[in-house]
């Protein structure tokens, strides 16, 4: 088997809001052809009343980025080249992880920091504009065909599947 | 508690300047300041602390087999053969993103969360194609992607697509994906003997990187082939199962066994079925366009291979439909191939020639009298014999050789030959085909039936395809109705009808399949006011019921003729009343 560090892989991290359970984080690592290598998901996270009051407008970045994002990013055995997310609040996790983190734009982005990655426009985390160069230098050519939005749908389905199993148990 | 206090003397002298304003203001000469120390010896104020614990949420982790650090394979993973490596694709323009993506869904019998997540998290098949992880010579149809997605996660599956929709390609692609992901290492594919070369050709087209072993040759050679591990896919024919039973009984085991034309094992008591069931395997797939040929018990027979004990004979049809729903996938051309050229039926309802009519009536009257006289001794075999004799008269008058069907066929073939096209003529009797070969010699007829040696058959098909002087091929239903690709033919003639519409469909689909150049015209010949017309009426009724078994899960019905129906063709009576089949 090949050395774990030599397998190029790409991470996808998202957070799903469930009305009953709270927030569920899912983190999927794919190889360059889009096949799954690792998957990590959190138990439901619900902010306390104190947190809601004290964090105020910073609650979401705290929960998405620091609590869920930071925890998930530390978990895998493989180190991805880049982690993609579809939630802007997750970008705050970049402060706690050495891995470049980008937001996948949902539409054609006019924002200047956006750059092209695979078939999508992405934006690096604030204050980490230098990640762009590192990402583009390490990006595997076999992954150029990927639609970076597609894996998030898989993560959402996987979270639903995990919740079904938890409820059945 | 007391706090230290510092006092300042603010009694400063102030000298007022003499001015009209100071007189008016009557400023004092000094500011009186009094200071008083504060006493903090009382209880301190209450403070409330709001804690914001920074606990990390619990995380559940899953590692999948393709991760280099995965511990999934308990057995040692063999290095794939060099030819399974990456294929360099041709330089095609990048594909436009599809609107719908085909995802693999875990079937209901996958229980473990980790296994279910493994399938849920697979990429869409279209993504794999675009990534060149899977290169195809032609873009698969969307329904074919769905067929592959159906087979991929299943340990027991029936792919029951109508003939001509590419079951072969779908099975090969699913095998290919499973080999590449390491989930399979050994596959056995069993098919009718005439189809072995067809499978070999299809593997060469759809999965050229997969080494194959064709089990053939003498016993010594076959034994060696069975036990070789070099090629992950072995192809054998049903006939070899009997001959190599002792080899299969040994320690041979396969990750996947695929049965093509799986209706061959519907009879659980047959030796072929028993041997197939005895092969050690982890997964099994059955490919058949006719999972139910006569009764729902045909399906029970197939499932006895897929999952022994899952279905039992005598189970209510509605219950069978519920149980098999997740395991069977069937599509028909009407459902999925709106772009396929049309299939046009042209029923040729013909009157018998005078000679034929005279012979027919005499034979029927005498035959029925004889059957009636047998009373309770009558068996289905007796009725069959009469039916077959009458059907043969509908083809040719035995004494004069006249045939209204032949006249019609000759006329139609004139047109076919004149337009440079080709036709297939089916009959259930080789003798009939031999007569036709003589009568139709000006059209360059070729024969393809059980009496043509196997080694010559591929050559016959090649000649038929390539030789422009050969406008017609004469096929028996048995030899020509299974698995062959003749999509360059635009005309099909059913000289006499088969008992079962499913077999006729198979015959027609030799020409009407993917790759058909144009519309296919099917002429079904039927002699009016004869046994053929009566059989046709029963079968028309049953044809409408066939799709309900698989497609809509309503109460299924037989699609061939039951014993009662065969007896009913002649309304046989004895002195005791209507004659029915023996119990």
Cβ contact, residue pair B97, A42, below 8 Å: no
Determine contact: B220 vs chain A, CB below 8 A: no
Mean pLDDT score, B533-552: 68
Mean pLDDT of chain B: 80
Q: What is the pLDDT of residues B208-231, one digit of tens each?
A: 999 999 999 999 999 999 988 889
**B51: nearest CA partner in chain A:** A50
DSSP string, A88-137: GGGGGGGGG-SS-EEEEPSS----TT-EEETTEEEEEPTT-TTHHHHHHH
Is a pLDDT exceeding 80 seen at residue B55?
no
Q: Based on the fold, state whether residues B192 and B110 are members of the same structural domain.
A: yes
Give the number of A-B residue pairs with CB atoms closer than 8 Å: 127
In a domain, B83, yes or no: no
pLDDT of B514 above 60: no
Domain around B527: 343-573
Taking CB atoms and an 8 Å limit, are B52 and A51 in contact across chains?
yes
Q: Could you give the percent of chain B with pLDDT greater than 90? A: 36
Given a cut of 60, whether residue B84 has pLDDT beyond it is no
A34 to B128: CB separation less than 8 angstroms, yes or no: yes
Q: Which of B58, B116, B127 shows the shortest C-beta gap to A43?
A: B58
CATH of domain A4-168: 3.30.420
The alpha-carbon gap from A83 to the nearest alpha carbon of chain B, in Å, equals 17
CA distances, A121 to each of A103, A149, B42 (Å)? 9, 10, 65
Q: Is residue B169 part of a domain?
A: yes
Q: What is the per-residue pLDDT for B16?
A: 57
Q: Return the higher-pLDDT residue of B513 and B557.
A: B513
Nearest C-alpha of chain A: how many angstroms from B550? 29
Is residue B565 scored above 50 in pLDDT?
yes
- The torsion of the CA quartet B540, B544, B546, B551, rounded to 10 degrees, works out to 160
Closest residue on chain A to B117 (Cα): A158
Residue-level pLDDT at B340? 62
Domain of residue B524, CATH code: 3.40.50.300
Contact across the interface for B57 and A71, Cβ inside 8 Å: yes
Please give the pLDDT value at position B338.
67
Range in A23-37, A39-53, B234-248, B511-525 with the lowest mean pLDDT: B511-525
CB-based contact, B107 to chain A, within 8 Å: no
Contact B499, B561 (CB under 8 A): yes
Answer yes or no: do B320 and B358 share one domain. no
Average pLDDT over residues B469-491: 78
pLDDT (tens place) for every residue of chain A, 169 residues total: 344 446 789 999 999 999 888 999 999 999 988 899 999 999 999 988 888 888 889 898 899 999 999 999 999 999 999 999 999 999 999 999 999 999 998 876 546 678 889 889 999 998 898 999 999 999 988 888 889 999 999 999 999 999 888 877 6
B453 interfaces chain A, CB cutoff of 8 Å: no
State yes or no: pLDDT of B361 exceeds 70: yes
Which residue from B60, B66, B94 is facing A35, i.e. has the nearest CB? B66
Judged by a CB distance cut-off of 8 A, whether residue B58 touches chain A is yes
- Of the listed ranges B45-59, B102-116, B222-236, B280-294, the least confidently predicted one is B45-59
Instruction: For residue B481, give how far its alpha carbon lies from the nearest alpha carbon of chain A (Å).
Output: 40
Least confident of B19-23, B171-175, B550-554: B550-554
Q: In the predicted model, is pLDDT for residue B52 greater than 90?
A: no
Question: What is the reported pLDDT for B95?
Answer: 41
Q: Are residues B424 and B447 in the same domain?
A: yes
pLDDT of the residue at A2: 40
User: Residue B234's pLDDT is what?
Assistant: 96
**CB-nearest partner of A54 from B52, B66, B127:** B52
Does B381 share its domain with B500? yes
Same domain, B310 and B404: no
Which of B301, B336, B371 is at the close of a domain? Answer: B336
Work out the number of other CB atoms within 10 angstroms of the CB of residue A134.
15
Contacts of residue B61 in chain A, CB cutoff 8 Å? Answer: 38-40, 75-76
* Rounded Cα–Cα distance for residues B387 and B370 (Å): 13
Q: How confident is the model at residue B30, as a pLDDT?
A: 65
CA distance A71 to chain B (A): 6
If one compares B352 and B511, the residue with the highest pLDDT of the two is: B352
Domain stops at, among B320, B336, B352: B336
Query: Does B518 lie in the same domain as B437?
Result: yes
Residues B222 and B351 in one domain: no
Among A4-8, B31-35, B509-513, B519-523, the range with the most confident prediction by mean pLDDT is B519-523
CB-based contact A75 B59, cutoff 8 Å: yes
Q: What is the count of structural domains for chain B?
A: 2
B443–chain A nearest CA distance, Å: 53
Per-residue model confidence (pLDDT) at position B246: 87
Q: Answer whether A53 sits within 8 Å of B58, measured CB to CB.
A: no
Q: What tokens does A110 get?
A: 């006019």
Instruction: Determine whether the interchain pair B56/A67 forms a contact, defined as Cβ–Cβ distance below 8 Å.
Output: yes
| Pair (B474, B372) in one structural domain | yes
Q: Is residue B430 part of a domain?
A: yes
pLDDT of B76 higher than 60 = no
Report yes or no: B124 at the A interface, CB cutoff 8 Å: yes
Q: Which of B50, B97, B116, B117 to mutate to test the interface with A (most CBs of A within 10 A)?
A: B117
Range name among A7-16, B66-75, B443-452, B563-572 with the lowest pLDDT average: B66-75
| Domain extents in chain A | 4-168
Q: Rounded to an integer, what distance in angstroms lies between the CA atom of residue B461 and that of residue B452?
A: 12
Nearest-CB residue to B120 (from A30, A146, A158): A158
| pLDDT of B26 | 57
- Beta-carbon separation of B122 and A35 below 8 A: yes
**A-chain residue closest to B65, CA distance:** A37
User: Which is more confidently placed, B344 or B471?
Assistant: B471
Matching residue, tokens 């069977």: B328
In degrees, rounded to 5, the angle at the alpha carbon of residue A11 between the alpha carbons of residues A6 and A14 is: 165
Give the three-state DSSP class for B355.
Answer: helix
pLDDT, mean of residues B157-166: 86
* B48, B50, B69, B105: best to mutate for the A interface, most A CBs within 10 A: B69
Would you state the pLDDT for residue B556? 29
DSSP letter for each residue of B240-254: HHHHTHHHHHTT-EE
Q: In terms of C-beta density within 10 A (0-12 exposed, 13-18 middle, 19 or more buried), how is residue B486 classed?
A: buried
Of A4, A34, A151, Cβ closest to residue B131:
A34
The confidence score (pLDDT) of residue B569 equals: 75
Domain boundary among B336, B369, B403: B336
Searching chain A, which residue's CA lies closest to the CA of residue B66? A37
CATH label of the domain that carries residue B223: 3.40.50.10810
Task: List chain B residues with CB under 8 Å of A48.
Answer: 52
| B119 inside domain | yes
Residue B500 has pLDDT above 80, yes or no: no
> What is the pLDDT, as a whole number, of residue A33?
85
- pLDDT tens digits, residue range B163-210? 778 899 999 999 999 998 888 999 999 998 878 888 998 999 899 999
Across the interface, of A33, A147, A161, the residue whose CB is closest to B133 is: A33
The answer on B549 and B479 residing in a single domain is yes
B448 lies in the same domain as B526: yes
What ipTM was assigned to the predicted interfaces of this complex? 0.92
Give pLDDT tens digits for B332-348.
877 776 666 677 777 78
pTM of the model: 0.66
Residue B303 backbone dihedrals phi, psi, to 5 degrees:
-70, -20
B531 within a domain of the structure (yes/no): yes
Over B110-179, what HEC string results?
CCCHHHHHHHHCCCCHHHHHHCCCCCCCCCCCHHHHHHHHHHCCCCEEEECCCCCCCHHHHHHHHHHHHH
B365 with B331, same domain: the answer is no
Q: Are residues B472 and B403 in the same domain?
A: yes
> What tokens does B412 get?
């139609």
Q: Which of B552, B521, B30, B139 minimizes the C-alpha distance to B332?
A: B552
Q: Tell me which of B65, B68, B77 to substitute to probe the interface with A (most A C-beta atoms closer than 10 Å).
A: B68
CB A90 within 8 A of CB A64: yes
């Amino acid at each position: 088997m090949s050395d774990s560090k030599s397998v190029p892989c790409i991470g996808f991290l998202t957070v799903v809001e469930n009305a009953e359970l709270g927030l569920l984080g899912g983190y999927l690592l794919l190889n360059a052809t889009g096949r799954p290598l690792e998957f990590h998901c959190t138990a439901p996270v619900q902010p306390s009343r104190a947190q809601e009051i004290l964090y105020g407008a910073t609650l979401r970045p705290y929960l998405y980025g620091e609590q869920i994002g930071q925890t998930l990013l530390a978990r895998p055995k493989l180190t991805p080249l880049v982690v993609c997310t579809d939630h802007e609040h997750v970008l705050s996790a970049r402060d706690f992880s050495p891995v470049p983190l980008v937001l996948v734009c949902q539409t054609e982005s006019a924002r200047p920091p956006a750059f092209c990655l695979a078939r999508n426009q992405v934006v690096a985390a604030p204050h980490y504009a230098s990640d762009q160069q590192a990402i583009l230098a390490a990006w595997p050519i076999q992954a150029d065909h990927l639609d970076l939005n597609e894996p998030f749908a898989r993560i959402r389905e996987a979270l639903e599947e995990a919740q079904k199993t938890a409820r059945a148990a | 508690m007391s706090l230290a206090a510092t006092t300042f003397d603010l009694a400063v002298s102030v000298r007022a300047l003499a001015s009209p304003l100071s007189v008016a203001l009557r400023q004092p000469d000094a500011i009186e300041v009094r200071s008083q120390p504060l006493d903090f010896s009382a209880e301190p104020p209450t403070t409330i602390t709001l804690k914001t614990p920074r606990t990390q949420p619990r995380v559940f982790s899953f590692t999948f087999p393709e991760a280099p650090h995965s511990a999934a394979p308990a057995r040692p993973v063999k290095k794939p053969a060099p030819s399974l490596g990456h294929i360099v694709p041709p330089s095609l323009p990048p594909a436009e993103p599809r609107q719908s993506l085909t995802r693999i869904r875990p079937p209901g019998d996958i229980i473990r969360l980790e296994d279910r997540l493994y399938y849920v998290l697979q990429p869409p098949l279209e993504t794999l194609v675009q990534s060149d992880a899977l290169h195809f010579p032609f873009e698969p149809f969307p329904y074919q992607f769905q067929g592959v997605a159906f087979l991929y996660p299943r340990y027991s599956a029936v792919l029951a697509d109508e003939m001509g929709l590419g079951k072969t390609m779908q099975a090969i692609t699913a095998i290919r994906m499973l080999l590449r992901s390491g989930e399979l290492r050994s596959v056995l594919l069993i098919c009718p003997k005439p189809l072995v070369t067809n499978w070999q050709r299809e593997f060469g087209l759809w999965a050229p990187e997969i080494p194959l072993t064709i089990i053939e040759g003498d016993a010594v050679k076959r034994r060696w082939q069975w036990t070789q591990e070099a090629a992950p896919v072995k192809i054998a024919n049903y006939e070899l199962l009997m001959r190599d039973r002792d080899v299969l009984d040994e320690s041979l085991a396969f990750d996947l066994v695929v049965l093509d034309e799986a209706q061959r094992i519907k009879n659980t008591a047959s030796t072929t079925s028993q041997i197939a069931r005895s092969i050690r395997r982890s997964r099994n797939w059955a490919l058949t366009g006719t999972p139910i040929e006569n009764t729902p018990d045909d399906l029970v027979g197939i499932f006895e291979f897929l999952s022994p004990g899952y279905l039992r004979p005598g189970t209510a049809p509605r219950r069978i439909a519920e149980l098999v729903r997740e395991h069977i996938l069937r599509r028909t051309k009407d459902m999925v191939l709106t772009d396929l050229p049309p299939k046009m039926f042209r029923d040729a309802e013909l009157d018998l020639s005078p000679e034929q009519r005279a012979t027919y009536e005499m034979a029927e009257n005498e035959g029925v009298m004889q059957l009636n006289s047998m009373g309770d001794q009558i068996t289905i075999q007796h009725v069959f014999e009469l039916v077959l004799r009458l059907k043969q008269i509908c083809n040719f008058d035995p004494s004069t050789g006249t045939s209204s069907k032949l006249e019609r066929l000759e006329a139609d073939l004139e047109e076919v030959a004149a337009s440079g096209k080709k036709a297939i003529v089916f009959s259930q009797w080789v003798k009939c085909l031999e007569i036709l070969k003589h009568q139709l010699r000006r059209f360059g007829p070729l024969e393809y039936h059980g009496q043509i040696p196997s080694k010559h058959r591929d050559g016959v098909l090649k000649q038929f395809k390539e030789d422009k002087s050969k406008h017609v091929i004469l096929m028996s239903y048995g030899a020509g109705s299974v698995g062959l690709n003749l999509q360059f033919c635009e005309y099909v003639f059913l000289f006499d009808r088969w008992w079962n519409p499913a077999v006729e469909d198979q015959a027609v689909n030799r020409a009407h399949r993917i790759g058909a150049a144009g519309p296919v015209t099917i002429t079904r010949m039927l002699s009016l006011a004869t046994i053929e017309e009566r059989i046709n009426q029963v079968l028309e009724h049953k044809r409408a019921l066939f799709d309900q078994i698989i497609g809509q899960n309503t109460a299924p019905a037989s699609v061939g003729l039951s014993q009662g129906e065969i007896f009913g063709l002649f309304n046989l009576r004895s002195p005791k009343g209507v004659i029915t089949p023996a119990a």
